[in-house]
Amino acid sequence: MLGARGGWQALRRCASLPRAQRAVRLRVREALRAQEPAGGVKVQGWVRSVRSQKEVLFLHINDGSSLENLQVVADPSLENRDLTFGSAVEVQGKLVKSPHRMQDMELKAETIHVVGSCDTWSFPLKMKERHPLEYIRQFPHLRCRSNTLSSLLRIRSEATAAIHSFFQDNGYVHIHTPIITSNDCEGAGELFQIETSHEARESAEKTHFFNVPAFLTVSGQLHLEVMAGAFTHVFTFGPTFRAENSQSRRHLAEFYMVEAELSFTESLQDIMQVMEDLFKTATNTVLSKCPHDVGLFHKYIAPAQKTKDRLEQMLKNKFVTISYNEAVEILKQASQTFTFKPEWGCDLRTEHEKYLVKHCGEVPVFVINYPYNLKPFYMRDNEDEPQHTVAAVDLLVPGIGELCGGSLREERLPFLESRLQRYLDLRKFGSVPHGGFGMGFERYLQCILGADNIKDVIPFPRFSHSCLL
Amino acid sequence: MLGARGGWQALRRCASLPRAQRAVRLRVREALRAQEPAGGVKVQGWVRSVRSQKEVLFLHINDGSSLENLQVVADPSLENRDLTFGSAVEVQGKLVKSPHRMQDMELKAETIHVVGSCDTWSFPLKMKERHPLEYIRQFPHLRCRSNTLSSLLRIRSEATAAIHSFFQDNGYVHIHTPIITSNDCEGAGELFQIETSHEARESAEKTHFFNVPAFLTVSGQLHLEVMAGAFTHVFTFGPTFRAENSQSRRHLAEFYMVEAELSFTESLQDIMQVMEDLFKTATNTVLSKCPHDVGLFHKYIAPAQKTKDRLEQMLKNKFVTISYNEAVEILKQASQTFTFKPEWGCDLRTEHEKYLVKHCGEVPVFVINYPYNLKPFYMRDNEDEPQHTVAAVDLLVPGIGELCGGSLREERLPFLESRLQRYLDLRKFGSVPHGGFGMGFERYLQCILGADNIKDVIPFPRFSHSCLL
pLDDT tens figures, B49-96: 999 999 999 999 999 999 999 999 999 999 999 999 999 999 999 999
Per-residue confidence (pLDDT) for residue B204, from 0 to 100: 43
Per-residue confidence (pLDDT) for residue B273, from 0 to 100: 96
Per-residue confidence (pLDDT) for residue B4, from 0 to 100: 39
Q: CA of B369 to nearest chain A CA: how many angstroms apart?
A: 24
Q: How far is Cα B408 from Cα B405, in angstroms, rounded to an integer?
A: 11
Per-residue confidence (pLDDT) for residue A358, from 0 to 100: 93
- CA angle in degrees (0–180, nearest 5) for A172-A188-A153: 55
pLDDT tens figures, B222-239: 899 999 999 999 999 999
Q: Is B259 on the interface with A (CB under 8 A)?
A: no
Per-residue confidence (pLDDT) for residue B189, from 0 to 100: 60
Q: Is the peptide bond before B386 cis (omega within 30 degrees of 0)?
A: yes
Instruction: Give the residue among A235, A263, A259 at the shortest CA–CA distance from B62.
Output: A263
Q: What is the interface size between A and B, counted as CB pairs within 8 Å?
A: 360
Question: What's the Cα-to-Cα distance from B34 to each of A231, A264, B10, B97, rounded to whole Å?
Answer: 20, 22, 13, 9
Identify residue B86 by its one-letter amino acid code: G
pLDDT by residue for chain A (469 residues), tens only, comes to 344 344 444 444 434 444 446 899 999 999 999 999 999 999 999 999 999 999 999 999 999 999 999 999 999 999 999 999 999 999 999 999 988 877 889 999 999 999 999 999 999 999 888 899 889 988 988 999 999 999 999 999 999 999 999 999 999 999 999 999 987 544 556 889 988 876 555 544 457 888 888 899 999 998 999 999 999 999 999 999 988 887 778 888 999 999 999 999 989 999 999 999 999 999 999 999 999 999 999 988 876 668 888 899 999 999 999 999 999 999 999 999 999 999 999 999 999 999 999 999 999 999 999 999 898 888 999 999 889 999 999 999 988 889 999 999 988 887 776 445 666 777 778 888 888 888 888 888 887 887 778 888 888 888 877 787 7
Per-residue confidence (pLDDT) for residue A188, from 0 to 100: 52
Evaluate whether B400 touches B365 at the Cβ level (below 8 Å): no
Q: CA of A246 to nearest chain B CA: how many angstroms apart?
A: 11
Pairing status of strand A173-174 against strand A233-241: parallel
Question: B226 vs A140: CB contact, 8 Å cut-off?
Answer: yes
Identify residue B187 by its one-letter amino acid code: G
| Alpha-carbon dihedral angle through residues A64, A65, A69, A72, given to the nearest 10 degrees | -100
**ipTM computed for the complex:** 0.90
> Which positions 117-156 of A are in contact with B (Cβ < 8 Å)?
117-119, 122-123, 140-142, 144-145, 150, 153-154, 156
Residue A259 has phi, psi (to 5 degrees) of -130, 140
Question: A193 vs B196: CB contact, 8 Å cut-off?
Answer: yes
Q: CA of A6 to nearest chain B CA: how many angstroms apart?
A: 6
Question: A223 vs B4: CB contact, 8 Å cut-off?
Answer: no
Low-confidence ranges of chain B (pLDDT < 70): 1-21, 184-189, 197-206, 303-305, 417-424
pLDDT tens figures, B361-383: 999 999 999 999 898 888 999 99
Q: Where are the alpha helices (DSSP H) in A72-146?
A: 133-136
Per-residue confidence (pLDDT) for residue A10, from 0 to 100: 41
Per-residue confidence (pLDDT) for residue B201, from 0 to 100: 53
Per-residue confidence (pLDDT) for residue A104, from 0 to 100: 86
